[in-house]
Structure 1
Amino acid sequence: MKNAVVLGVNPPVYDFTFYDLWAKPAGLLFLLDYLRRRGNTVMLTDCVFEGRTGALSFGRDSIKRREIPKPPPFSAIPRRYYRFGLDEEEFIKTLSPLPSPDYILVTSMMTYWYEGVFSSIKTLRQVFPGAKIVLGGIYARLCPEHAAMSGADMIQTEPLDLDFCQPAFDLYRGLRYGVLITSFGCPFSCEYCASSALEPVFRKRPTVLVRSDAESQLASGGVRDLAFYDDALLIDREKGLYPLLSQLKPQDIRFHTPNGLHVREIDEECAAVLKKSGFKTIRLSFESSDAEMQHRSSDKVSAEEYRASLEALKGAGFTESSLETYVLAGVPGQTTESVELSIRFVKDLGGVPRIAEYSPVPGTISFEAAAALLPGLVDEPLLCNKTVFSPYLSRIMTHG
């Protein structure tokens, strides 16, 4: 494709809750950069970002929400349901001044957010009837048959080789944080995670490219915070992360890790580097103190390794309140006692437990177990919603 006009769209989110944890459509931004390098004109409409209503800490934003009727699968759920981001009228108003695109690339994230995708495609058809619409992203990759009902002309299901591109963050105006990706994929294969399905080969990006990403985002003048999107940021850190941080060291940057760091990789040296380099938000990927759950998490961390990493981080100067630890809840076969013990274990060591509610992900081992309990999961991605699957729909948590 050359000399085409391409519009990238990040749809609004339909859900019970949504928080801006440095959430940006990185894959779409990489693709737009790729197309621009090949002589195409690219544009971006991010319905979530354009729906921001106020500034939060570390560059994040509060996002406008409007209550909407719950879809039938959620009719009995005693929670309010919202559209986060631009409403339809605002979306149309944002699109109307744009030149008519030849292609529209719609991204998708959570499988259970597809309502926002479908709604956006319908609106885009009305505003730009002559454009070819391509749907890609996580939902499209994991649920291609369901995505075929979206109204898009094409569903992008194959991984794209974008390793040497850079995310087109310059398409934003008023952005206060940036995103860095030093690697794609993950060397582990946890039974509840789709990382290895989406990126079958774990690979590192050249440090010079990641540094360029950081410098271009910081050059905007309004960005001080950078969030790492890696699933395995600390793997081979001596060859990747450490050189990157040393090159960016002179600048006043605050780093964040919304994806959990692999606890096993954090020793005293690593903790000291993170502290000295300006890391402010540390999320630790612990999951559970239960040996069986640890095995289902690829045995990537033990209770003793978690204890040692926490001591190293506190010894480096991190406060207890900054060390949040993900504890999984709701995985098929997991008991409430297991979750309670894990929470208590984290708190007793001075960590801050953050419950990571299980969401069934198509293509994973645990999805098959979840679908055996709730067969509707196979055909209806909405039932995978983390807010409702375990607490309301599956009644999967057991005592014992």
Structure 2
Amino acid sequence: MTTKVNEYAVVPEGSVTTPKGFRAGGLHCGLKKTQRHDLGVIVCEVPANAAGVYTLNQFQAAPLKVTQESIAAGGKLQAMLVNSGNANACTGQQGEDDARSMREACAKAFGLAEHLVGVTSTGVIGELLPMPKVLGGIEKLPSQVKADGGDDFCQAILTTDLVKKEICVSLTVDGRTVHIAGAAKGSGMIHPNMATMLGFITTDAKIESAMLQKLLNEVTDSTFNMITVDGDTSTNDMVIVMASGLAENESLTPGHGDWDAFAAGFRHVGEYLAKAIARDGEGATKLIEVSVNGADSREAARAIAKTVIGSSLVKSACFGADANWGRIIAAVGRAGYPVNVDTVDIRLGDISVLEQSRPVRFDEDAAEAYLKGELVQIVVHLNMGQALATAWGCDLTYDYVRINAAYRT
């Protein structure tokens, strides 16, 4: 059974292998101390049109450079290889050589041209990959890849994540069923300026690489770029999209009659994954959503929303169920964009705590009860214009410090 949402439908049991032409799998090759999967791959029956967004951190991990080279060679990918447990970042020339060796080994294992293989890694920064283990695992991957291998792939990309993150939607394009699916990992070092930790989107729609890139950029700006857990942008952040075209629809462009539905479905996938990452933030107990309305520009709305959601004081107050709106207004005022200091309204859910920049009486017990819930919605209305934006994050807890104080041990 599917759930209708606008012109697309959410497929409850869908995964990255639901779109036509895709298979996936994962296994344990020895990068993690436990027996959890740490090597995975998504494979397409045909060269798929591809697009990607990457971290803007100046210390960009070696695999990202290799994947960008592959996509630049022809705008297509047929396999996306990923390992967890080791980021292969800040590892110099040896790291780049190792990433290319992974690409070469994956291409050989699946009988593909090297430039049709992308590579990415996640885990500890600054340690060389144990390549015998990695290459041995790649040799075994073909036997683990299957049409229902989405779950194994999801397990292979996790680090400190507590849950897998996946979503699939379907819609009709030119009278044909089209699927868009996604999987992601991310729990810490989340404050993207391009995407988030790692994201993988597959679709069987026919859409050219340039148009896919444009759509990915737009969706990234309003979803993956609007989340934060701890204010740190990783060296390995990446989102990759692969479109097999096997739905055999007419090529999608903004002029196509079904473009709006496809773009809405694509955005739903991005937003769902982004919110799932924020909800699964390291040590988090709740998802926080900050909506900024009435700004005089979209840039201002986004900057203010991300400043509020990224405030350690706001995050701590949400953890402690303290309706301290002063922390929110202070974050609004330091976001770097002019605001009218006499016209700001703030609500915690349906509870108004500030009107026209003046405190209003509210039920402290009701506010505390609301803030103890699993979803906290903070609404800021600037009353200056028509622009708006939403950002997502999580509370800051004792467990966040515990997890990151012993990350390598």
So what's the TM-score if we normalise by structure 2?
0.27
Higher relative contact order (CA 8 A, sep 6+): 2
Q: Which has the higher strand share?
A: 2
Q: Which has the higher helix share?
A: 1
So what's the TM-score if we normalise by structure 1?
0.28
